[in-house]
Amino acid sequence: MEDETFAQAGLNDTGSNIDLGLNNETIVGDLNNKHESSGGFEWTALTIAQAIVLFFLAGVAEIVGGWMVWMYVRGGKSDANVAVNETSNNTTATTSANNDSNVDKPWWWGLVGSLVLIIYGFIPCLQPTDSFGRIYAAYGGFFIVFSFLFGWAVDGDKPDIGDVIGGCICFVGAGIIFFWPR
């Protein structure tokens, strides 16, 4: 029983680590992006522009696709639309964006939105680096900012000061994550 406890804890019966055939170089080497860390990749003006354009395209695809599914499923009942309608005392004096948003969408909106989301899934594969985790982590910062801007443009949901500060922090963080020299 005691030997099983040691084995589960990663120790042999003398209390020292069990040799798993791994060393620090193997573990750290596996965690690093092989393409970037091998010296075969360098950021250039062209690869930076490519990465930013792809983040933008991915953001548009994910947000538009997600919004289309949202509008189909929720029928245009976002918080911004409900607030505008409640404050207008049930009159039709809402903005044109809100008038367009309050109409229930047909089934094909959900289908087209889903297809756009499938396309979104392939866009990050075109990024110039090979680090899946780093690409998606950095994209998260871009996505947050794009989401606020899209919600403001389409639903009239204006970002407040907390949204702006948080979005800026995320955007700067995304840039650091993705473009940090390695």
Along the 182 residues of the chain, how does pLDDT read in single tens digits?
555 544 454 444 555 444 444 444 443 444 444 455 556 688 899 999 999 999 999 999 999 999 999 999 997 665 545 444 444 444 443 444 444 555 788 999 999 999 999 999 999 999 999 889 999 999 999 999 999 999 999 989 999 999 999 999 999 999 999 988 87
pLDDT value at position 75? Answer: 79
Q: How far apart are CA 17 and CA 178, in angstroms?
A: 35
pLDDT value at position 89? Answer: 45
pLDDT value at position 148? Answer: 96
The torsion angles phi and psi of 39, rounded to 5 degrees, stand at 85, 0
pLDDT value at position 76? Answer: 63
Q: How far apart are CA 55 and CA 113, in angstroms?
A: 18
The pLDDT tens digits of the residues spanning 40-86 come to 688 899 999 999 999 999 999 999 999 999 999 997 665 545 444 44
pLDDT value at position 100? Answer: 54
Q: How far apart are CA 161 and CA 125, in angstroms?
A: 34
Nearest to 139 by CA among 162, 118, 120: 120
Q: How far apart are CA 147 and CA 78, in angstroms?
A: 14
pLDDT value at position 139? Answer: 93
pLDDT value at position 181? Answer: 84
Nearest to 182 by CA among 84, 38, 58: 38
pLDDT value at position 61? Answer: 97
pLDDT value at position 146? Answer: 94
Q: What is the dihedral of CA 158, 161, 145, 166, to 10 degrees?
A: -150
pTM greater than 0.85: no
Q: Does residue 80 sit in helix, strand or coil? A: helix
